């Protein structure tokens, strides 16, 4: 397997949606190709770091304010269109 | 090396009942749906718009639009996927308004160099995120994702941050599955490459572990 072929399968490999024969070919490549091992490992870390980061968390006070604005507008729409949502 | 572990979502077994009550005009049931997904919608909106005020507007506009159009929700997809589709459209509209000089579309063919081949292969320190405080790390991640084209950011946030499946992402963005996969691969590789400068091992350690700055060659030879 060439490195470019490995990269082509990287997303499916990291997502665990790959058939067993392809998976073992990829892992055989990883066993000897240091560069692909590093790319695979650091891509996996990239995903985990973003997933576990608290980037763009909605602060509780803003959350309450937004929810109350949404509910108020939904209630006024309900009044203006009786019997429909 | 195993696959990444998906984020476990909240159970949604009562969701159809909440949607049915909301359709019948029960605002409290709809409020529960808002409570369930407002944080996700805010995160997605801020990833796309890269602007906090716009993201706040998107949260309000998307939920109000969802409430007004609940009758159109047929239950063929999850409520969340349907809501995400509305939120993504609202966020893209904000982005287009803010940057009218740049065409913003999820279908755009983003012209980049051959970004499927990493240019720099540098190993990272173990637990590289721990070298930084939470605030520093958030700044790095924010700055790094900021430079990605909107179509890459959007696919990355839905798949990897929010944990939607490839099919759900394709459904929410009205893209084909191969288009989602190709954007996801390029987004992941570009983010990885941009994070290198913050997370790679100091050069002395790199020498010891045979770390390499060489690009990967197409023939598999090192």
Which domains can be identified in chain B, with CATH numbers? 15-98 (1.10.1740.10), 128-208 (1.10.10.10)
Of B35, B141, B189, the CB nearest to A67: B35
Q: What is the pTM of this model?
A: 0.84
A7-16, B118-127, B198-207, range with the lowest pLDDT = B198-207
> Cβ B166–A4 below 8 Å, yes or no?
no
Alpha-helix runs per DSSP H in B69-156: 79-98, 134-146, 150-156
At B23 the pLDDT is: 93
Tokens of B27: 């605002």
A chain contacts of residue B191, beta-carbon cutoff 8 Å: 46, 50
Q: How confident is the model at residue B109 (pLDDT cuts 50, 70, 90)?
A: low
CB atoms within 10 A of CB B12: 12
Mean pLDDT to the nearest integer, B45-67: 96
At B219 the pLDDT is: 44
**pLDDT above 70 (res B104):** no
Class of domain A3-80: mainly alpha
- The label of the residue with tokens 């950011």 reads B153
Task: Give the gap in angstroms from C-alpha B150 to the nearest C-alpha of chain A.
Answer: 16
At A78 the pLDDT is: 76
At A83 the pLDDT is: 52
Mean pLDDT to the nearest integer, B162-182: 93
**pLDDT above 70 (res B181):** yes
At A82 the pLDDT is: 56
B-contacting residues in A 25-84 (Cβ below 8 Å): 27, 29-30, 33-51, 53-58, 62-63, 66-67, 69-71, 73-75, 77-78, 83-84
Task: Give the gap in angstroms from C-alpha B85 to the nearest C-alpha of chain A.
Answer: 18
Of B2, B34, B163, the CB nearest to A70: B34
**pLDDT above 60 (res B64):** yes
Residue with more model confidence, B76 or A49: A49
Would you kindly state where each structural domain of chain A is located, as residue ranges?
A: 3-80
At B75 the pLDDT is: 83
Give me the long-range contacts of A18-26 (CB less than 8 A, separation at least 24).
A25/A1, A26/A1
At B3 the pLDDT is: 72
Distance from C-alpha of B167 to C-alpha of B30, rounded to nearest angstrom? 26
Average pLDDT, chain B: 83
Q: Which ipTM value was assigned to this complex?
A: 0.89
Which residue of A lies nearest to B25 if distances are taken between CA atoms? A85
**pLDDT above 80 (res B9):** no
Give tens-digit pLDDT for B135-159. Answer: 999 999 999 998 899 999 999 999 9
Of A34, A43, A70, the CB nearest to B210: A34
Q: How confident is the model at residue B14 (pLDDT cuts 50, 70, 90)?
A: confident
**B123 close to A (CB below 8 A):** yes
**pLDDT above 50 (res A85):** no
> Cβ A33–B22 below 8 Å, yes or no?
no
**pLDDT above 60 (res B74):** yes
Task: Give the gap in angstroms from C-alpha B191 to the nearest C-alpha of chain A.
Answer: 7
Q: How confident is the model at residue B128 (pLDDT cuts 50, 70, 90)?
A: confident
Query: How much of chain A is in helix, strand and coil states, percent to nearest 5?
Result: 75, 0, 25
Nearest to A55 by CA among B140, B169, B210: B140
């Amino acid at each position: 397997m060439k490195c470019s072929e490995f990269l082509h399968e990287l997303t499916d490999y990291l997502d665990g949606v790959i058939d067993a024969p392809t998976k073992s070919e990829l892992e055989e490549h990883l066993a000897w190709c240091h560069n692909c091992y590093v790319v695979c490992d650091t891509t996996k870390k990239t995903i985990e770091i973003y997933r576990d980061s608290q980037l763009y968390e909605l602060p509780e006070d803003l959350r309450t304010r937004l929810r109350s604005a949404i509910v108020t507008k939904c209630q006024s729409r309900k009044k203006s269109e009786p019997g429909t949502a | 090396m195993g696959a990444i572990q998906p984020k476990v979502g909240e159970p949604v077994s009562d969701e159809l009942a909440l949607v049915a009550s909301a359709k019948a005009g029960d605002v409290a049931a709809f409020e529960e749906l808002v409570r369930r997904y407002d944080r996700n919608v805010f995160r997605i909106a801020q990833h796309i718009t890269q602007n906090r005020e716009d993201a706040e507007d998107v949260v309000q506009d998307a939920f109000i639009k969802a409430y007004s159009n609940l009758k159109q929700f047929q239950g063929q997809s999850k409520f969340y996927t349907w809501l995400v589709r509305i939120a993504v459209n609202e966020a893209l509209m904000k982005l287009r308004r803010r940057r009218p000089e740049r065409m913003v579309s999820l279908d755009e063919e983003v012209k980049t160099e051959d970004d499927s081949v990493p240019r720099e292969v540098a190993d990272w320190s173990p637990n590289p995120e721990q070298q930084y405080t939470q605030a520093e790390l958030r700044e790095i991640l924010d700055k790094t994702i900021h430079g990605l084209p909107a179509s890459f950011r959007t696919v990355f946030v839905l798949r990897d941050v929010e944990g939607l499946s490839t099919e759900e992402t394709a459904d929410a963005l009205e893209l084909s599955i191969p288009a989602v996969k190709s954007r996801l691969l390029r987004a992941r590789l570009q983010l990885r490459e941009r994070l290198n400068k913050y997370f790679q091992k100091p050069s002395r350690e790199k020498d010891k572990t045979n770390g390499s700055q060489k690009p990967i060659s197409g023939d598999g030879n090192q």
